[in-house]
Amino acid sequence: MSAFSPSPQFAKRWLATPVAVKESFRQELDDIIDMLHSPIPARDFNFSLPDFGEEIKHLMATHKDESKPVKLIHSLDTSLTPIEPKKPALSRKEMDELEVKICEKLSAQITDFLDEHMGQLSDDLKAWIQTAVKNELAEYK
């Protein structure tokens, strides 16, 4: 699995983001995880926030005064935290089955997405070709 390392600018902005906005992002990510585990096709899945972009804009406007510049260096919390028991590891066979299942679901969702968008792109290109040919022929006359 590849590692993700956010830039210091991202980390600083994220730390300064209002809590309500962070919660909306977490909810959206939870919905995506639920969608991946669900037998419901992606196009039929209902997210908790119907229009995520608008919700974020609204929350940012509502909670803009809560944002504060944050330092990236914090004092370390050295208090003891309870250690969660480790979940039993999946066997190699279970991991392989899980990988196949995830790949199949994602592939189906990608196919649905591409079918929808490629159809629209095809229609747009055909319309563009017709317009371009008409314009060229009009100049030729």
The sign one gets for the Cα dihedral 18, 19, 20, 23 is: positive
Q: Which amino acid is located at 26 in the chain?
A: R
d(CA 25, CA 84): 25
- Contacts of residue 19, Cβ cutoff 8 Å, sequence gap at least 6: 63, 66
Residue pair 35/42 in contact by the 8 Å Cβ criterion: yes
Mean per-residue pLDDT pooled into runs of 10, the chain (141 residues): 63 79 88 88 85 87 70 51 68 89 88 80 84 84 69
pTM, two decimals, is 0.43
